[in-house]
Amino acid sequence: MSFHTLFLRISDTDDHAPGIMLLRALLRMPAWLFGFMVRWRGWMYEAGLLKAERLPVPVISVGGLTIGGAGKTPVVRYLAGLLMDMGHRPVILSRGYGRTDRRIVSVSLEENWQNVGDEPFFLATMLPDVPIVVGADRVSAGRHAIAEFQPDVLLLDDGFQHRRLQRDLDIVVYDSTGYARNLPLIPAGPAREPLTALQRAQGLILTRTDQVNAPSDVSQDIRAVNPNIQIIESIYEPVRLRRISDNTILSVDDIKKQPVLILCGIANPDSFGRTVSDLGAHVAFTLYFPDHHTYSIKDMDEVVQSARQVGTEWIITTEKDAVRIPDHLIQTHLLALDISLSIPTGEEILKNLILSLDIPK
């Protein structure tokens, strides 16, 4: 078992294997020390001993309290579209997790996705009119974006803990299916910060609220921490299927009652599997890889062999995974499912939060 896989298993609070439970218990002291450092760093910023740098345009941060899987990328995509619809010129700032190029760069679809990271590359395919700038130092990346693109607002992807860049609006994304009042902190659990960190956020988007029995109970707990926070409930809706080999668009109804194999390397694969199953497909087999996994030809050979063994023609993956699939015969049988964020009620709350920034046009 790789260190990455072990870390993910320890972070999964539903994993009750005896060895994992023992490791989780042994990591309580390091988790306490991590929490102490998080609180100390937060106090340093609040006391003014560490300075946050302000850029000349408003900054909207989209972040999370846990590692991976909350659904921040679809929220960033949604907000970028909303800002465009409101007449603004957003630029997305991203760290570019796992990329090979350390420079501050603007994402281009002409280059290898590994130079910029899979999530920024995926966003670029979905948002061709929104520039995306990648850099670990988001302050420098913001200055680069302003100089190159003259935006009137910056959208900071995964920025809740990146406090060196002053933001004008903090929106936190939380997966309601993984909610717990006292999630263990890293490295004993998935929490980057305790729930009390929501005191510095203005908005919270609960994702996958259709997959839990009582999202209102989650909202009640959160309002106990921050009574003024604006809470928006959201769901993910399957939009279309795209055949990787030739970009042919298919209806999501085309896999109804069809045997399929699910292939994905994301932080919350079970939720994706449930989405595919809810479309009426018969899930014959699942192959889950680590989040951000770089697929190899050997991986693809294994997937094809598994599909043949269970007698499935179609292999379903995510749009983000599709970015990382190498050239292989598998692509003729590979369908990427595009899932978009839907906010049945609450878009006006988001618009009002944006309007409160008074962004000049």
Q: What is the pLDDT of residues 141-171, one digit of tens each?
A: 999 999 999 999 999 999 999 999 999 999 9
- Do 311 and 350 share a domain, yes or no? no
CB distance 244 to 335 below 8 Å: yes
- Do 89 and 25 share a domain, yes or no? no
pLDDT band at 1 (very low <50, low <70, confident <90, very high): low
Q: How distant, in Å, are the alpha carbons of 23, 106, 173, 261, 328 from that of 333? A: 40, 32, 33, 10, 10
* 35/206 Cα distance (integer angstroms): 24
* 219/209 Cα distance (integer angstroms): 11
**Residue 52 covered by a domain:** no
Which residues are within 8 A (CB) of 234 and not within 5 positions of it... i.e. 6 or more apart?
75, 205, 206, 207, 208, 209, 341, 342, 343, 346
Q: Is the confidence at residue 3, as pLDDT, over 80?
A: no
- Do 25 and 128 share a domain, yes or no? no
The CATH code of the domain that includes 326 is: 3.40.50
- Do 186 and 242 share a domain, yes or no? no
What is the tally of structural domains in the chain?
A: 3
**Residue 102 covered by a domain:** yes
Q: What is the pLDDT of residues 69-114, one digit of tens each?
A: 778 999 999 999 999 999 999 999 999 887 877 889 999 998 889 8
- Do 79 and 226 share a domain, yes or no? yes
- Do 109 and 26 share a domain, yes or no? no
Q: How many CB atoms lie within 10 A of CB 14?
A: 7
pLDDT at position 260, please?
Answer: 95
pLDDT band at 338 (very low <50, low <70, confident <90, very high): very high
Q: Is the confidence at residue 4, as pLDDT, over 70?
A: no
- Do 18 and 156 share a domain, yes or no? no
**Residue 361 covered by a domain:** no
**Residue 77 covered by a domain:** yes
3-state secondary structure (DSSP) of residue 59: strand
- Do 133 and 156 share a domain, yes or no? yes
pLDDT at position 258, please?
Answer: 93
CB distance 312 to 263 below 8 Å: no
- Do 230 and 117 share a domain, yes or no? yes
- Do 223 and 348 share a domain, yes or no? yes
Phi and psi torsions of 41, nearest 5°: -65, -40
**Residue 54 covered by a domain:** no
Q: How distant, in Å, are the alpha carbons of 1, 75, 270 from that of 97? A: 22, 17, 22
Q: Is the confidence at residue 215, as pLDDT, over 80?
A: no
Where helices occur in 242-330 by DSSP H, the ranges are 269-278, 297-310, 319-322
Structural domain containing residue 32:
3-46
Closest by Cα among 67, 73, 53, 234 to 155 = 73
- At 16, list the tokens: 């009750």
**Residue 209 covered by a domain:** yes
- Do 123 and 226 share a domain, yes or no? yes
Q: What is the pLDDT of residues 307-326, one digit of tens each?
A: 999 999 899 999 999 999 99
DSSP conformation class of 190: S
Q: What is the pLDDT of residues 171-203, one digit of tens each?
A: 999 988 888 778 899 999 889 999 999 999 999
- Do 334 and 317 share a domain, yes or no? yes
Phi and psi torsions of 61, nearest 5°: -100, 135
What is the torsional sign of CA 98, 182, 34, 12?
negative
Q: Is the confidence at residue 216, as pLDDT, over 80?
A: no
CB distance 236 to 208 below 8 Å: yes
The percentage of residues in the chain with a pLDDT greater than 90, rounded to a whole number, is: 71
**Residue 360 covered by a domain:** no
pLDDT at position 359, please?
Answer: 84
**Residue 53 covered by a domain:** no
The percentage of residues in the chain with a pLDDT greater than 70, rounded to a whole number, is: 99
The CATH code of the domain that includes 64 is: 3.40.50.300
